[in-house]
């Protein structure tokens, strides 16, 4: 069955502006709502508005540039024409910041459903349904209910009236499960602060190596906080990381070893920051994204370029052999590791670990020693993986 989404952007906040334009994660609340609906598979997404200020128009354009099918409707009759007959429609209340897990879970319901809170003091700002429950701001309604509501709406509020009619027709009530998190009804930016901190914290994901776990987090946090306020595309950061890696390889081939290392170091947090930005915008990067897949071979090229330079300038064939062997063992370990996430994987050879480990060697100009150390590191990582995963698989998980 087709799934659409209906949102409102007409109620005012404490300052007289639109609730939907309250800031959230570097964008606006209405953009977050639309992205939640898109993550649940809703299309089209219709926004009912009475006026379209410049800030709201900018938000709509940003969403459209990201390929999200958003339409602004000046009244409910226009909104009705956007949906297919017989479809189910996600209803997200004006000013509501829902956890994305709640929206996606509700979208999977096969019939109309209403998310509810208990009628208590903690939820007194939410709309009361009866003496026992309040509306949590998210519901799944039928197209025919929306159409019939439009014919008799008059001066009544669309969302409240549609909610009442959906309940009268026997919609399922779904109490909010604690593990999904609670929606926020926002009338001021301060009410969204904790919700935003939760979104930023949730974007951190799993850090699989010691470089990203212990050294890069401050850089990630700062860059993510600054970039989420901009229109910078996560995919561009991935390509920037790839380009910096290739520039580093080119610098190594010309003997500009410090410059090459600086470019490689600059590349190390970019893919993680890109992933966090994509998560905050509820459009995670594909696992098999081309730019992500190219980072590993590009780092291998940089390693071989460094080995080639060292072998031609005093270290002989040993430096190049160390670089080739390191690349071979690193690839073998990467293939052997899989994706099961053993607790000790953080200490194994990785692109970031190898790049940041070069810093102390660079200080003393001991580049050949670095290559030999990386060879030992990569070989040891591969041997450990082989031994543990094939001899004692029960040790691979925490």
Confidence class for position 326, pLDDT limits 50, 70, 90? very high
Residue 8: C-alpha distances to residues 45, 71, 395 (Å): 11, 11, 52
Let me know: does 52 contact 117? Beta carbons within 8 Å. Answer: no
Residue-wise pLDDT for 382-397, tens only, equals 999 888 776 654 444 4
Average pLDDT over residues 308-319: 92
DSSP alpha helices (H): ranges in 157-233? 158-168, 193-202, 210, 217-227
Asked whether this chain's domains 3-195 and 208-395 adopt the same fold, the reply is no
Distance CA 304, CA 230 (A): 37
> How wide is the angle at C-alpha 217 spanned by C-alphas 209 and 281, nearest 5°?
100
pLDDT at 190 over 70: yes
Nearest in space to 196 (alpha carbons), one of 112, 82, 288, 280: 280
pLDDT at 32 over 50: yes
* Three-class secondary structure of residue 268 per DSSP: coil
Distance CA 356, CA 262 (A): 10
Distance CA 43, CA 38 (A): 7
Residue-wise pLDDT for 195-219, tens only, equals 999 999 888 887 889 999 999 999 9
Strand pairing class (23-24; 27-28): antiparallel
Higher local confidence (pLDDT), 392 or 220: 220
* Three-class secondary structure of residue 96 per DSSP: strand
pLDDT at 391: 67
pLDDT at 398: 42
pLDDT at 387: 83
pLDDT at 396: 45
Give φ, ψ of 49 to 5 degrees: -130, 150
Higher local confidence (pLDDT), 239 or 202: 239
pLDDT at 239: 97
Let me know: does 32 contact 20? Beta carbons within 8 Å. Answer: no
Residue 55: CB atoms within 10 Å: 14
Average pLDDT over the chain, rounded to whole?
Answer: 91
pLDDT at 155: 65
pLDDT at 342 over 70: no
Q: Which stretch of DSSP H or E encloses residue 35?
A: helix 29-39
Q: Which of 263-272, 275-284, 322-331, 356-365 has the weakest average pLDDT?
A: 275-284
Let me know: does 98 contact 138? Beta carbons within 8 Å. Answer: yes
Nearest in space to 129 (alpha carbons), one of 173, 99, 180, 186: 173
Residue-wise pLDDT for 99-136, tens only, equals 999 999 999 999 999 999 999 998 999 999 998 999 99
Average pLDDT over residues 372-383: 96
pLDDT at 344: 72
CATH topology of domain 3-195: Spore Coat Polysaccharide Biosynthesis Protein SpsA; Chain A (3.90.550)
What CATH number was assigned to the domain covering residues 208-395? Answer: 1.20.120.1760
- CB-based contacts of 282, cutoff 8 Å, min separation 6: 32, 35, 36, 38, 39, 100
pLDDT at 345: 83
Query: Residue with structure tokens 């109620």?
Result: 11
pLDDT at 338: 62
pLDDT at 395: 45
Average pLDDT over residues 92-100: 95
Average pLDDT over residues 295-322: 95
Average pLDDT over residues 315-331: 95
Q: Which stretch of DSSP H or E encloses residue 313?
A: none
Residue 7: C-alpha distances to residues 138, 179, 188, 207 (Å): 10, 25, 19, 36
Residue 230 token pair:
């901009």
Residue-wise pLDDT for 240-272, tens only, equals 999 999 999 999 999 999 999 999 999 999 999
pLDDT at 340: 54
* Structural domain boundaries in the chain: 3-195, 208-395
pLDDT at 195: 92
pLDDT at 232 over 90: no
Residue-wise pLDDT for 126-184, tens only, equals 999 998 999 999 999 999 999 999 888 776 788 999 999 999 999 999 999 777 788 99
Residue-wise pLDDT for 349-359, tens only, equals 999 999 999 99
Average pLDDT over residues 220-242: 92
The model's pTM is 0.85
């Amino acid at each position: 069955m087709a799934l659409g989404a209906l949102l409102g952007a007409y109620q005012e906040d404490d300052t007289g502006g639109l609730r939907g334009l309250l800031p959230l994660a570097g964008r606006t609340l209405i953009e977050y709502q639309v992205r939640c609906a898109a993550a649940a598979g809703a299309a089209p997404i219709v926004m009912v508005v009475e006026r379209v200020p410049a800030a709201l128009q900018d938000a709509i354009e940003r969403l459209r540039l990201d390929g999200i099918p958003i339409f602004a409707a000046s009244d409910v009759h226009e909104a009705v024409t956007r949906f297919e007959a017989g479809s189910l429609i996600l209803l997200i209340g004006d000013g509501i910041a829902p956890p994305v897990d709640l929206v996606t879970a509700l979208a999977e319901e096969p019939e109309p459903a209403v998310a509810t809170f208990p009628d208590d003091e903690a939820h007194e700002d939410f709309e009361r349904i009866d003496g026992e429950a309040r509306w949590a701001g998210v519901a799944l309604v039928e197209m025919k209910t929306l159409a019939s509501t439009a014919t008799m709406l008059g001066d009544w509020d669309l969302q409240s009236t549609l909610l009442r009619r959906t309940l009268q027709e026997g919609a399922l009530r779904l109490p909010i499960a604690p593990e999904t998190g609670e929606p926020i009804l926002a009338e001021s930016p301060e009410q969204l602060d904790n919700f935003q901190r939760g979104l930023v914290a949730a974007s951190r994901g799993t850090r699989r190596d010691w470089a990203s776990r212990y050294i890069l987090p401050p850089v990630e946090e700062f860059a993510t906080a600054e970039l989420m306020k901009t229109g910078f595309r996560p995919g561009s950061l991935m390509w920037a990381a790839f380009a910096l890696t290739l520039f580093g390889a080119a610098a190594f081939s010309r003997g500009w070893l410090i410059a090459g290392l600086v470019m490689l170091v600059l590349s190390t947090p970019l893919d993680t920051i890109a992933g966090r930005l994509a998560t905050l915008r509820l459009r995670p990067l594909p696992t098999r994204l081309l730019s992500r897949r190219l980072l590993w071979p590009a780092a291998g090229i940089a390693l071989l370029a460094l080995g080639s330079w060292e072998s031609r300038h005093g270290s002989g064939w040993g430096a190049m052999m160390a670089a080739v062997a390191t690349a071979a063992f690193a690839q073998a370990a990467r293939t052997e590791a899989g994706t099961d996430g053993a607790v000790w994987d953080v200490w194994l050879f990785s692109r970031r670990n190898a790049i940041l480990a070069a810093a102390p060697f660079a200080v003393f100009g001991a580049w050949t020693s670095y290559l030999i150390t990386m060879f030992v590191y990569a070989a040891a990582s591969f041997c450990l993986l082989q031994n543990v995963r094939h001899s004692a698989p029960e040790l691979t998980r925490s």
